[in-house]
A and B are shown apart, each in its own frame.
Chain A
Amino acid sequence: DSGVTQTPKHLITATGQRVTLRCSPRSGDLSVYWYQQSLDQGLQFLIQYYNGEERAKGNILERFSAQQFPDLHSELNLSSLELGDSALYFCASSVSVAQETQYFGPGTRLLVL
């Protein structure tokens, strides 16, 4: 158990819909990262937050957004969903932005029908 929690574990929705994925980092970790894992693209970095502020952006679509709240939990919002958004979405956390080791949550499996 990494100490990072993600909810929900599974999510099934339809094209065009919007969903919110939630992540709670390990106790004491200030940095949160979101990743997408799919068969096509492998594990892709989406976005990083540190202590409530966006710090780095990766291959995140404009239809996707994220935020980190004062209690340090983070949410990833996916809108206008397409079939190709079906994937595993992982959250990871680390102590700081300069911390080399990230701890991964169990993931949310999203299926868009």
Chain B
Amino acid sequence: AQSVTQLDSQVPVFEEAPVELRCNYSSSVSVYLFWYVQYPNQGLQLLLKYLSGSTLVKGINGFEAEFNKSQTSFHLRKPSVHISDTAEYFCAVSGAGGSYIPTFGRGTSLIVHP
């Protein structure tokens, strides 16, 4: 079985500050890891994904994430956020037991203040 825990339900931050959104996963086998973003009244958009190889993954809009197998984490970071980054962010895991159906975390609401 696989599961995802997003440790913060809400993260407020000022514009141009750095941000880290935390994600921990649980799986007994190798997995694929994803971060999706959901802007208000829209569907989910893939930010980045880790399948294999380099543990530092770069995505769209200046976001990056680091896969840490020993800590079973996949935290999302951005060095300087913009107002337009205000959105809901979802971490997801798939691949356990050969299933490609992702399990999503409950989401983290990133609120960027001017």
A binding-site residues for B, Cβ under 8 Å: 2, 4, 33, 42-43, 45, 48, 56, 58, 90, 92, 94, 97-107
Contact = CB atoms under 8 A, between A and B. Distances in A.
A98 B100 contact: yes
Given A45-B102, A48-B101, A101 B49 contact: yes
Given A42-B107, A100-B32, A100-B94, A107 B100 contact: no
A104 B101 contact: no
Contact of A104 (B45, B51, B103): B45
26 contacts: A4-B43, A33-B101, A42-B104, A42-B105, A42-B106, A43-B44, A43-B104, A43-B107, A56-B99, A58-B101, A90-B43, A90-B44, A92-B44, A98-B100, A99-B100, A100-B32, A100-B94, A101-B34, A101-B46, A103-B46, A104-B36, A104-B44, A106-B42, A106-B43, A107-B42, A107-B43
A100 B51 contact: yes
A110 to B, nearest CB: 14
A37 to B, nearest CB: 9
Nearest to A91: B43
Contacts of B51: 100
B35 interface: no
A17 B51 CA distance: 43
Given A4-B43, A33-B101, A43-B90, 13 more contacts: A2-B45, A42-B106, A43-B44, A43-B107, A98-B100, A100-B32, A100-B49, A100-B94, A101-B49, A102-B102, A104-B36, A105-B43, A106-B42
Interface string B82-114: 000000001000110001111111110000000
Contacts of B95: 100
A103 B41 CA distance: 16
